[in-house]
Structure 1
Amino acid sequence: MVLSVSLADAECLDLSDIVNTDRYPLHDPDSPRLNDLVAACRAELAASGSAVLHDFLRPEALERARNEGRALAAKTYFSTRKVNAYFTADDPALSETDPRRIFMDRTSGFVTRDLIPADAIVHRIYVAQAMKRFVAACLGETRVWEYADPYAGLVQNVMPPGTEQPWHYDTNEFIVSMMTQQPTAGGDFEYCPNIRSPQGENYEGVGRVVRGETREAINVITLRPGDLQLFKGRFSLHRVTQVAGEVERHTAIFAYSQKPGVIGRLERTRQLYGRVSEAHLEAEQRLVRADSLVD
C-alpha cells in the first residue's frame, strides 16, 4: 500500500489507511468487534489502570511514523534536572525519607506539537474524530477534547541511551501513547496502579516504591513499535527505566482531556519544553485546582 499525504483533520471519521482496522475498526462505531474491544479496554483499565493495543498501525504507516519520528528527533528539547515524583521544590521541614524529599535524575526530551507537521502520522491520529470517539468510549466518557495547550497536546518523547524518566504522576487523569521506535534494551514502562487517590497521597506506600524498598506494587510493560497504550496516570505512579544500547526510544503522546480548554501548568511547561507561551501565562492566572493532590 502506498500511503497518501493527508493533513491532520479533526473531522476525520476513517483512519483506515493508517490504522489496522481489521483489528481495530475505529471507522465503524456500531461494529460488534469494536464494542467488544471497547469493553475489553474498559475492563483492563478498571483492573490495572492500563490497556495496550498491539499492532495498532498498519505496517506501512508504522514505518512512515518511525521515519518521521527519527527526523523530528533533531528538534528535541532536552533538559536534565533532579525532580521528585511531584515536581515540587524541596521542603526541609519534612522527614528525609518522605517521597517529596526523594529527588531523582530526569532527562526529558520532547518535540512539541507546534513542531510536528500537520501531515505526520501521529498528528493525523491525534486530531481525528474517529480516534477521539474511540478513546472516549474506552474511558467511559461521553467525549474527550484535544488539549488547548499549543505545546503539550501532542508531543514526541525522545529518550536516547542512558536516559530515563523517574517516578512521577501525570497532571491529566489519563494519557494515550504510541511507541514508534523501540530501544535496543531497557526503556520498560513500570507503574503502580492507583497507588494514590483524590482522597489521599499515600506517602507511606509511595515512599517505599520511590526509595526502592519494594517492587510488590509495580507492574512492568515492554511496549513494541505500533503499540497504543491507554493509561490512567493521575493516580498511578510510573516511570520509564533507563534506555540502553544504540537506539533511541521514541513515543508519541496524545493528550486528551475530559473538558475543553486544558493548558499545562506554567512551571512544569517551562521545565519540560524550555519555553512557555502567552496561553500558559494567562492560564496560570486563571488556575483553579480540580483536586487537592500535590502536583
Structure 2
Amino acid sequence: MSATDPGLADAEALDLSDIVDTARYPLHRPDDPALLETVEMARAHLDREGCVVLRGFLRQDRLERVRAESARMAETSFYNTREVNAYFTADDPELPEEDPRRLFMTRTSGFVTRDMITADTLIHRLYVSRAMKSLVQRCLGEPRIYEYADPYAGLVLNVLPDGTEQPWHYDTNEFIVTMMTQQPESGGVFEYCPNIRNPQDENYAEVGAVIRGERTQGVKRLDLQPGDLQLFKGRFSLHRVTRVEGDTPRLTAIFAYSQAPDVVGRLERTRQLYGRVSEQHMLAEERREARADGLID
C-alpha cells in the first residue's frame, strides 16, 4: 500500500498488519501458535462468561487515526432519547409493577450508520475483511459468520456524549463485536451480568433486581481501552454502559455479524435507534418469522 493510497474496505483482505498488532494477533497466519492460543483463550472466556477482550488489538500508532476518523463521523450522529425497558417492548399494565418489562429507563445515545461510514476508514476496513471474520468465527466456534445485510446496522459508530448512557438491555443478535475508539473523561463503564437468562427462562426476578439496583453480586465491570477488541454474547447477558461525564464523548465501533446470511434488523427497533428505516427493513418485516428461542427480542 502506497503512502498516497489509504486503502479501501476489501472483503478479501487477509493482511491487516497496517491496522492490527499482528505481532500479538497474526491474523494472516491462521496456524500461528500465538493466534491459536488467542482463539483457545477467547473460546474459554466466551463459554464461561459470554465475553472476552483482546487487549491492544489495534496498533498503537493507529489509535490516533481511528480516534480522529470516529470524532469526525460523530458530528453526523443521530441522537434519540426514549424511555425503554430492557427488551425494547411497550408497557403492559396487566403485568406486576416489579416486572422488569415495566421498568423503563431513559436511553439517550447517538449512532452513525454504515451507509455514512466511508470505505477508507479503519473500522470499515476491519469490518469487511476476511481476516476479521475468520478471527471472530474461530473465537465463537462458529462454522461461518456473515456481515449483516442491514444497510444501517452492520457497522455503526455509537456516540455517547456528556450525560448520556445505555441503560440495561439485551442485544438482538447472539453476539456482537465492538472496539472503543475514544475514551471519555469519566464514566462510560461497560457492565454486564453473564448469562442471566437462557432460551428456557427469562429469569425476570433476578433481572428486575439488577435493574432496580437491588442486586450487584455477579455484575461485572470492564476497563475497556481504545483499540481493545471485545466479543460479547449480549443476547443472554444483561448489560449497560454507565453515564458518561465530561466534554469527550465515548465513541465505540460496533461490528455486527450473524450466524446466517441476509440478516436485517427489526423495523421498530431500527426506527428507534437510527431515526429512519429503509425499504429493505420494511420488506424484511413482512417476511419475518418468530425467533426460534422464544425470548423477548
Shorter chain as denominator, the TM-score bin is over 0.9
Deviations 1:134-156 (A, max 9, x none): 10000001111000000000000
Q: Matches of 1:63 and 1:125 in 2, distance apart? A: 16
Structure 2 counterpart of 1:172, one-letter code: N
Provide the identity percentage. Answer: 65
Deviations 1:260-288 (A, max 9, x none): 00000000000000000011001101111
Aligned residue for 2:75, secondary structure, equals helix
Name the residue aligned to 1:294: 296
Q: Matches of 1:87 and 1:142 in 2, distance apart? A: 30
Structure 2 counterpart of 1:283, one-letter code: A
Name the residue aligned to 1:122: 123
Deviations 1:222-259 (A, max 9, x none): 21111110000000000000001221000000000001
Deviations 1:17-64 (A, max 9, x none): 110000011111011111111000001111111100111111222211
CA contact (8 A) 1:3 1:60 kept: no
Distance apart, 1:194 and its partner CA: 0.3
Q: Matches of 1:127 and 1:222 in 2, distance apart? A: 27
CA contact (8 A) 1:146 1:257 kept: yes
1:271-286 alignment to 2 at 5 Å? 271-286=272-287
| Aligned CA-pair RMSD | 1.1
TM-score, with structure 2 as normaliser:
0.98
Name the residue aligned to 1:241: 242
Name the residue aligned to 2:143: 142
Aligned residue for 1:75, secondary structure, equals coil
1:78-157 alignment to 2 at 5 Å? 78-157=79-158
CA contact (8 A) 1:84 1:99 kept: yes
Q: Matches of 1:94 and 1:51 in 2, distance apart? A: 36
CA contact (8 A) 1:191 1:220 kept: yes
Q: Matches of 1:267 and 1:28 in 2, distance apart? A: 42
Name the residue aligned to 2:11: 10
Name the residue aligned to 2:180: 179
Q: Matches of 1:60 and 1:277 in 2, distance apart? A: 37
Deviations 1:162-183 (A, max 9, x none): 0000000000000000000000
Q: Matches of 1:3 and 1:235 in 2, distance apart? A: 45
* Closer, same or farther: CA 2–19 of 1 in aligned 2, 3 Å: farther
1:162 correspondence with 2:163: yes
CA contact (8 A) 1:161 1:243 kept: yes
Name the residue aligned to 1:206: 207
Aligned residue for 2:139, secondary structure, equals helix
Distance apart, 1:4 and its partner CA: 4.6
Q: Matches of 1:280 and 1:232 in 2, distance apart? A: 24
Deviations 1:188-232 (A, max 9, x none): 000000000011100011011011111012000021111110000
Q: Matches of 1:102 and 1:222 in 2, distance apart? A: 27
* Count of residues in Structure 1 that have an aligned counterpart in Structure 2: 295
TM-score, with structure 1 as normaliser:
0.98
CA contact (8 A) 1:3 1:61 kept: no
